[in-house]
Structure 1
């Protein structure tokens, strides 16, 4: 509690005197939260912006707390882009306080809430894992591009050009994903993971999605949850279940053992990237690479 109060006090003191964007070498200083947003900003801003991401590969945004070392990044930014919908639950107080005097933009706010999946696990009342709907990611791309153009009109056309190129890549990704998924019979489209990060994916591509921990990794799966899901796996003859890169694998391993204890077998089909991308510099370290990898992993294991 004292730590949070300290951060908010410093942020408010700094932002109160912040009346104009400070740039380094003429570039906007941008801070992002999740790896997905960091990747998006880099695709649109390229070498015309300075980007610092708070979270790295494998970091769970549900549980992330700003450290004192993050304060300089946040207060030194011309703009902070975050996902919103209470995904970054531990940072909400900090962002709300900053928002009074600073540019803090929740990108998911551009989405029509009528299309979002309701969730009792989050203060926003919505499932925040919106990046698993490529159409939503396109809307967020356009929104981010518009905001960058407003803050840096001299480079607005550059951002728009980059966005147009990126949107074409997202169109191609959408076509590829649908083609790959079409090879899996509908009755086999049951996705069991560590937590419910894939509901937008399931809604868009016709998968029944079951997460052991619910939507937020802040909740813990109980013994009865494990036993109930184990029985579902047996009843529906599910071939594979999946761990996630940002969630400890022990819960899925416990589920696998529970199935085995009932006289059946289920394989761990691989590790999926849910709340964070892969390592920087790898294919899975990009949004497009992550999405493609997840789909191929899921389809390959469930076939």
Structure 2
């Protein structure tokens, strides 16, 4: 890249040729040409505007928990929003910046005696990623509780989008279609008993720990749920648990997960995903679509 971003934005932490394996939950991925950590909406706007003016491609990451970054890395500017993590409570509403951890936000809700967010007590992603993907677990989804989201659109303007405008679907939101960047989200919850809220969160985290392979790096649930089926059961019934390419393996504990058991690469992950998709199609004629995002060169 001709433009040196580190010289242009000396008040923002920007790393050059930084391995993204240091940030992804799979511990895989190539280098980001430039990796920036904005701490505010203004900084994010300035970076996006500069990138657009100089025709620099932009990639936005949150907690990097549900994605795979190519071994070839990412060209241009990559933003990680985890430094934008403020969480505030006002009555029955919680507003969290995009980089705030979903887990941390549920803890703030519990401490405030607000119920409705317990389902997300173990979701490893960020609030921005949760809105972008309409993250959910154990019968709950982000769109059930989200009131509005603050979004930076492609024109560099900050707009407020309502729940209806976000057009939520299964692991989908309008932000995926319009190229916007989620900056913050406001959730409308209900008053509840702190003890009961904590008990429910503890119960769901116990279930998660007992059923999911949390002892290994992974990108979480890899495949979307096919209509009328469960991806994990289809993979299990295809005899694929334990299937391995390089250091990536279909989890023996939960077939819906692919874990990094031995210095896996992103290519290993992609090979396992492809093999699982082909095998399930051959056996059941069901197409497994990825929930995990695969990005990069």
Q: Answer 1 or 2: which has greater strand percent.
A: 2
- What TM-score comes out, normalization by structure 1 length? 0.31
Q: Answer 1 or 2: which has greater helix percent.
A: 1
- What TM-score comes out, normalization by structure 2 length? 0.31
